[in-house]
Amino acid sequence: MTGRVLVVGSLNIDLVAAVRVHPRPGETVLSTGLRRFPGGKGANQAVAAAAAGAAVRLVGCVGADPDGAAYLDGLAARGVDVTGVRRVADAPTGTALVTVDPQGESAIVVVPGANASLAPGDVDLRDADVVLLQLEVPLPVVEETVRRAAAAGARVVLNVAPYAELPPAVLDLADPVVANEHEAAALARPPRSLVTTLGPLGARWRHGGGSIEVTAPVVEAVDTTGAGDAFAGTLAAALAAGADRHAALERAVAAGSAAVTRPGAQGWRLP
């Protein structure tokens, strides 16, 4: 069974600098190399969901610039329907400034650019089994989309990253909310369905009165950028295809672990 996943989220160009150590406040460090990768949580998760076998449609915004055009071509080549991505004339494609140390740990600053132009009217919920969202786009769009999707009978997977406060009533419409340990700790109260990613330890899904835990395989990390997105996209694809919670969590943990073994968030590069 192939599930249908609608991803509403960001598209960024990731400028990734390799560093020996991450700079501290006021400190300058030299990079050992700079690369350009496609990124943005929305697009990262869309590519992961497509790689996991889902029929994926992406809603978002890019600039009317060469980076935006090249990015959309690359996504389409990887099986993502980008007809819902709007090109914005008065803003550049979003950018993320990423430093990665020898242990594969990353630090990221996001410049939203065209992502900030996303509006509720851009979101067409037709033919979606699962609607997957993150928080790199305007929060009013996220809140309205969650409510509309739940009312339409679609399953909502809501990744609260980068963390921002949302109404508990919105969080409770998701099954599940996906958060790392820091994001989960910041929630005012646990939502009814919460997946907490635990880095190299795996992930936990608490729902109702139950709890599921899956341990991650041991891998050698090269770059942790996008690991959480690979997890979320694969989880959404598995749920859309009809997998139960345990099987979906297993597939998501495996995908997140594999993602840290390669550079970049999506496994391909931009010129």
Residues marked as catalytic: 229
Q: Is the peptide bond before 23 cis (omega within 30 degrees of 0)?
A: no
CA distance 204 to 219: 19
| Residues 174 and 40: beta-carbon distance below 8 Å | no
| Residues 131 and 157: beta-carbon distance below 8 Å | yes
CA distance 155 to 220: 34
CA atoms within 13 A on the CB side of 16: 27
